[in-house]
């Protein structure tokens, strides 16, 4: 393959794709992996002159503000989780199912697929493979000797950061029609959004891939050299 890039760069980085979870919705398809200029925090997608070799996949759960301007709350203030922490995702309607129980359907029986031009290239990565439950869970209040709420532990290895090593090597091209589908397993999904305690808040799933990004001078000039690694 001949590449027409000038001064190409190779970097080990992350790509992030977001899914705003909806009560009762079990399948989220046609998630665009290409940059269409309409990104939401913390998304970073493929540009036309990108080649990307995904090596690891991960699921991160977090909150987002449905009306950020009114609440003056930035989505980046909410922690990310590699599992549905019961202490953080604790919302439940009266007599209903807790949001943490609904969010477990992402991992137990759920799976992730990838298509290029409508053709399946990555088949049913089990959500359970991307589940990592640390030894220290979230605590909403500070404990003895702690000045702030306890956050999830993050280890030095990829698995302890929620990443699953992919078994197949696929090179993605930014100009191709790259799509993701997130399918949830069986179980109650009536409270995926949470929001009964605060109707302005929803739950967001971040689909992440860690791997090698090859890009040329054009992308560097557009500022994509600062993708999180």
Q: For residue 58, give the 3-state DSSP assignment.
A: strand
Return the pLDDT at 142: 43
Say how far apart CA 58 and CA 154 lie, in whole Å: 14
Return the pLDDT at 110: 96
Cα-Cα-Cα-Cα dihedral sign, residues 8, 220, 55, 181: negative
- DSSP of 97-151: --HHHHHGGGTSS-EEEEEETTEEEEEEEEGGGG----SS--BSS--TT-SSPBP
Burial bucket for residue 145 (CB in 10 Å: 0-12, 13-18, 19+): exposed
Return the pLDDT at 134: 81
Return the pLDDT at 177: 94
Domain positions in the chain: 9-135+148-226
Q: For residue 94, give the 3-state DSSP assignment.
A: coil
Return the pLDDT at 212: 95
pLDDT tens, position by position, for the chain (229 residues)? 344 445 678 899 999 999 999 999 999 999 999 987 878 888 889 999 899 999 999 999 999 888 755 444 556 678 899 999 988 898 888 788 999 999 999 999 999 999 999 999 988 899 999 999 887 667 665 444 545 566 666 667 787 788 999 988 899 999 899 999 999 999 999 999 987 777 888 999 999 999 999 987 554 434 333 333 3
Omega within 30 of 0 (cis) for the link into 162: no
Return the pLDDT at 70: 47
Return the pLDDT at 75: 65
Say how far apart CA 56 and CA 123 lie, in whole Å: 14
Return the pLDDT at 138: 75
């Amino acid at each position: 393959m001949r590449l027409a890039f000038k001064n190409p760069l190779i970097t080990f980085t992350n790509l992030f794709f977001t899914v705003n979870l909806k009560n009762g919705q079990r399948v989220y398809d046609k998630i665009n992996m290409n940059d269409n200029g309409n990104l939401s925090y913390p998304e970073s997608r493929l540009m036309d002159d990108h080649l990307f070799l995904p090596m690891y996949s991960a699921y991160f759960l977090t909150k987002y503000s449905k009306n950020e301007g009114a609440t003056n709350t930035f989505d980046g203030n909410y922690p990310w989780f590699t599992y549905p922490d019961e202490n953080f995702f604790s919302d439940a309607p009266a007599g209903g199912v807790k949001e943490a129980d609904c969010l477990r359907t992402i991992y137990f029986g759920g799976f992730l697929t990838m298509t290029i031009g409508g053709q399946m290239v990555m088949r049913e990565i089990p959500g359970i493979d991307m589940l990592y439950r640390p030894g220290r869970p979230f605590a909403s209040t500070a404990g003895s000797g702690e000045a702030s709420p306890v956050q999830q532990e993050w280890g030095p290895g990829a698995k302890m950061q929620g990443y699953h090593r992919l078994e197949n090597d696929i090179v993605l091209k930014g100009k191709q029609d790259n799509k993701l589908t997130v399918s949830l397993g069986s179980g109650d999904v009536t409270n995926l959004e949470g929001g009964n305690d605060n109707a302005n808040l929803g739950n967001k799933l971040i689909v992440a891939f860690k791997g090698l990004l090859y890009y040329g001078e054009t992308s560097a000039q557009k500022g994509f050299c600062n993708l999180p690694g």
